[in-house]
Amino acid sequence: MEPSTNMLEGAMSSGISILVVEDEIITARDIEAKLKKLGHAVVGIASSGEEAIQKAAELTPDMILMDITLEGKMDGIEASIEIDKHQNLPIIYLTAHTDLITLHRAKVTEPHGYIVKPFTQRDLIITISMALYKHRMEMKLKIMNQMLSLFLQPISLEKKLQQALEMIVSIPRMFLQTRGSIYLIDSDPNTLVLKASLSSSECPAVAVGQCLCGLAASSRGVVFADKIDKRHTLQQDGLPHGHYCVPILAGNDLIGVLNIYVKEGHKQDTSEENILTAYANVIANALHSSR
């Protein structure tokens, strides 16, 4: 099946930091050149499993391209197992071997992709794009389960919402600013009241229909901005940013709004909106049940 144009363009535009683990320096430099042409940043090159573990911890890349056959006592599969114990990173295996024993050992570690040498730039585009998507979906499910458990804990509503907000913005390669807030409808059905925040500049209250959060509340739909625009009528600071504002709904009842900051110029993404809506639904169902 041929990848869609949108998928390829998305992979080209979403530059990420990558650690290349390859013991053949000429091959490593060729991979580095291919990745740079795709707009990605190679933060380091490691030639052994031991070095890969060290650099993964020091450089905290968004992804690792890991050759299976490496110099030293540890191969790429063993290195990946060690890295996975401490860091939740998508790993793509690179190998010239296609024997069943190697494939089975690699499969057991649940990699996010597998590329057989020699490979093309197009192979990299497709595999990296799919690996990022798979990793994001895994994180989405993990955080949803954590949020469900969180709302069952005997702690205050404010602490639950604050911890839920921190979980949401922790998804790697999705939210480019760890800032956001959760507003709820309190006693006045026309006013959103701030209940949790990761920004010191949030408005304590927002009228339904006013500013981006208020517009999300009145429209019952996701409101996106890639920069500070004329809709930011209550903007508290001038730092460049954008927003996803997602209504928190229980059926037709408005519970509140989930507000997440993104980097200025961030492109609107349907998959991101779907993930945020899923989180908003978890919050809505938890609050609706408690009421």
> Does the structure show a pLDDT above 50 at 24?
yes
pLDDT bracket for residue 277 (50, 70, 90):
very high
Q: How many other C-beta atoms lie within 10 A of the C-beta of residue 218?
A: 16
Question: Is the pTM higher than 0.85?
Answer: no
Q: Would the pLDDT of 3 be above 50?
A: no
Assigned superfamily of 5-137: Response regulator (3.40.50.2300)
pLDDT surpassing 90 at residue 154: yes
pLDDT at 4: 42
**Per-residue pLDDT reduced to its tens digit, 169-186:** 887 666 556 789 999 999
Are the beta carbons of 222 and 249 closer than 8 angstroms? no
Class of domain 154-290 (CATH, top level): alpha beta
Note the pLDDT of residue 12: 43
Alpha-carbon gap, residue 122 to 128, rounded angstroms: 10
HSE-up of residue 36 (Cα within 13 Å, Cβ side): 9
Does residue 281 register a pLDDT over 90?
A: yes
Q: Answer yes or no: is pLDDT of 278 > 80.
A: yes
CB 67 within 8 A of CB 43: no
Residues of the chain within CATH 3.30.450.40 domain(s) are 154-290
**Span 253-278, average pLDDT:** 91
pLDDT of residue 98: 67
For the chain, the average pLDDT equals 88
Helix extents (H) in the chain: 5-13, 25-37, 49-59, 76-86, 100-108, 121-150, 157-168, 211-219, 270-290
* 212 band by pLDDT with thresholds 50, 70 and 90: very high
Q: Residue 9's pLDDT is what?
A: 44
Which amino acid type is present at position 195? K
Residue 237 has pLDDT above 70, yes or no: no
Q: Predicted confidence band at 190 (pLDDT cuts at 50, 70, 90)? A: very high
Question: Where are the domain boundaries for CATH 3.40.50.2300 in the chain?
Answer: 5-137
State yes or no: pLDDT of 2 exceeds 70.
Answer: no
